[in-house]
Amino acid sequence: MDLSTLNETISSSINSLYNSLVNSFNGDSFSILDDITFIDTKILGNDYFSSFLTDKTQSIIYIVNAMLIAFLIYYGLSYLFSHLSGNSVENPMQFLVKFTVCAICVNSSYFICEQIVNIFDIITDCLREFGFFIFSSDISFTYLADQLNKVFLRENMVNTTFFSFDGILNLFITFGFFNLLFTYSYRYILIKVLILLSPFFILAFSLNSTKWLFKMWLKNFLMLLSIQIIVSLLLVIIISLKYSFSDATIKILYIGSLYALIKATSFVKDFTSGFTTDISSGISSIKNIFN
């Protein structure tokens, strides 16, 4: 086999693998991305999570109610020994009022979480409906994928090679959407975990020494939900690009817009300093631990 034949075989193999990779991210993948990004109250009612709650919620509530008694005993002992040690302890009346409110909220924790999720869902729907009213386009990843197919002519990818400018851009788009899929899947799971453990974090608010746990939970829960608002705003801006720029410019702007969607979690983190669902940041944090 001569050198030219070998180069042609290698190039053909790379292009074949490239086309398979790019075309593997189909419309179903984008609909899944919409479902896990724009979270609504269905997150508490889908088949898997609902069955888990049905089987386990009551036991969790029983455990937390038992811990309520333990927290009450802990405060009573702390208040008793404070007279001997001279340490300051929260006023009994103030503690009892806060303790009663926490006890009520613990037993209504999943309802409270559902209403918080519903508020963010309403805000998100308002932004997406506004975008639809202005641009007559669905504000979603599915519609964005259709636009990218038109801009980059990805339906004609059979003739596109890896060793070309458009080929590199298409590869970046494919990996970008895979990144989004993993990132928002991780966010979706975190929200489920925070909802499931909400009774424990609400209980933590009853004592001054553990109140920081509740604040951490609330801040991160709100932060994770607020990401979909930022994503909605970014999608409105991205989808509006088709009205303002030439085709050559749109290609570059779509690449920048996709990068902005990938970094949306980092934008929120900069304001809240909470959890991050950015995969690269998570890997960097793990590396720093071992250094």
Per-residue pLDDT tens over the stretch 123-137? 999 998 888 888 888
Show the tokens assigned to 176. 């970008």
Residue 22 lies in a domain: no
Residue 4 lies in a domain: no
Q: Looking at residue 282, what is its pLDDT?
A: 46
Residue 278 lies in a domain: yes
Give the structural domain span for 122: 31-45+109-290
* Poorest-pLDDT segment among 25-34, 131-140, 207-216: 25-34
Residue 144 lies in a domain: yes
Q: Which band of pLDDT confidence, cut at 50, 70 and 90, is reported for residue 175?
A: confident
Show the tokens assigned to 195. 């909802």
Residue 91 lies in a domain: no
Instruction: Quote the number of domains for the chain.
Output: 1
| Percent over 90 (pLDDT), the chain | 10
CA 169, CA 22: separation in Å to the nearest integer? 11
- Could you tell me the CA-to-CA distances from 66 to 53, 92, 204 in Å, in that order? 19, 20, 13
Residue 113 lies in a domain: yes
Q: Looking at residue 202, what is its pLDDT?
A: 92
Q: Looking at residue 259, what is its pLDDT?
A: 79
Residue 7 lies in a domain: no
CA 242, CA 151: separation in Å to the nearest integer? 9
Residue 282 lies in a domain: yes
Q: Looking at residue 157, what is its pLDDT?
A: 46
